[in-house]
Amino acid sequence: MRNIYFKGSIGGHAKAPVSKILRGIHARIRLTARVTSLLIVVCAAAPPAPAMDAETSMPQRSLIIGTEKSPPFAMKNPDGTWSGISMILWKRICVRLGKTYEIKEYNSVQQLLGAVANGSVDAAISAISVNSEREQRVDFSQPYFASDLGIAMRASSLATYIRIFSAMFSRTILVLLVLMMSLPLLVGAIVWLCERRCNPIHFGGHPIKGIGSGFWWAAVTMTNVGYGDKVPSGFPGRFTAVVWMFLGSIIISMFTATITSLLTVSHFKEQFINIDDLRVMDRVGTVRGTIEEDYLTSRIELFQHPLLYESIEGAMSALDKRQIDAVIYDQPILVFEAKRFYGGRMKILPLPLSVQTYAIALPYGSPLRRPINAILLSEMSNPEWQGILSLYLGRDAFHQN
């Protein structure tokens, strides 16, 4: 066979047989085919990329939502429907998701979290606090409420009177009383020295009688009573009287301000409680299986034997019956229970030792998490949300998100 040659332009004229050129082209085609096949195999074996929009993989069925009774966040009505802060929030979320839901009730938060972990429910909402231990079992949404711990104690009018009595006769008050008695006595003695000869009718006689008259005059002058039954007549006595009038007004003002300050501080101490106050409480209760139980058992130096109850209603009832000294639990729940059942027999004080945040519990990898978080961020800035909180909790200043 006769070879055919082509002229090339690289480095001048060159000749190459056609068969050699065709073999090179076939080799390149085979290499390209092998690389393409390898890429197809790798892409087929790789896991599918997650969808950018979580809503595309949300369940098409009605959602199953777990809850447990925890007034005022989740309350079961006599007709079987649910109300409360958390349940209203969940209804608003589902409206924006365009989803329907069914509610499944559980008896405790531990059972509720277990149902979320094993996939029995799509989400759980109530008064579910977030901590590191629970985070290991289930995922959580953005927090929608936060509050301090609170402590419930019996309100006692006798204790109030004792506190006022103690403030009135504190060391500071006793020192001021001694000072207020000593100064008029000193001024009275000075006036007696100035007036005993020129004004014997008012300040004369025996030194004890004269100084007593001077003390009486100084006392009524300091208190701005001014009976006028005794009046200095000499220049030294009148000069002393003028100085004492101004000085007495200052002393009375200082005494009044000190009394007011002590009573005000005593009142505000009643509105808060600290670690030192907890040391004198032997019987403190809380609800079993809650974050509060973990807190009490971890503070052995304060609570050696905390009493555990199955519900907050049981703990509050024991407090009302004087079986325990105090109940430690989430402050908004204590406030709601005290107002609903106990009137003025209970007082709830903040216990700023641990902040509790409430969130929606979700299974790990739930497609609901991203859309729920977006809705929560929007709802938290909605004035209607603050109205819902005020409806159930009043205008108390909790750590609202």
Q: Summarize pLDDT for 39-70 with one digit per residue, the tens.
A: 555 445 545 444 334 444 777 889 999 999 99
- Residues of the chain by 3-state class (helix, strand, coil), percent to 5: 50, 15, 30
Give, rounded to a whole angstrom, the gap between the first and last alpha carbons of the chain.
90
- In the block, residue with structure tokens 């229970």: 337
Cα separation of 60 and 175, whole Å? Answer: 78
| Cα–Cα distance list, 62 to 51, 100, 329 (Å) | 21, 5, 34
Identify the residue with better confidence: 41 or 358. 358
Q: What percent of the chain has pLDDT above 70? A: 73
Q: Which residue has the higher pLDDT, 384 or 14?
A: 384
pLDDT of residue 65: 96
More confident residue, 80 or 38: 80
- Which residue would you say has higher pLDDT here, 367 or 54? 367
Rounded to an integer, the average pLDDT of 179-204 is 86
Q: Which residue in the block uniquely carries the two structure tokens 């107002």?
A: 339
pLDDT of 363 reads 95
Q: Which helix (H) or strand (E) holds 66?
A: strand 63-67
Mean pLDDT of 97-106: 94
Contacts made by residues 95-99, CB under 8 angstroms, sequence distance 24+: 96/375, 97/55, 97/58, 97/368, 97/371, 97/372, 97/375, 99/58, 99/62, 99/63
- pLDDT score recorded for residue 171: 78
User: 132: which 2 tokens?
Assistant: 């590191």
For residue range 252-291, what is the model confidence (pLDDT) as tens digits?
888 888 777 766 655 545 544 555 556 656 788 888 888 7
Task: Report yes or no: 361 and 106 within 8 Å, Cβ to Cβ.
Answer: no
CA separation for the pair 198, 232 (Å, rounded): 9
Q: Are 233 and 195 in contact (CB under 8 A)?
A: yes
Strand 346-358 versus strand 145-154 pairing type: antiparallel
pTM check: above 0.85? no
How far, in Å, CA of 166 to CA of 40, rounded? 87
Q: Which residue has the higher pLDDT, 163 or 383?
A: 383
Distance CA 374, CA 325 (A): 43
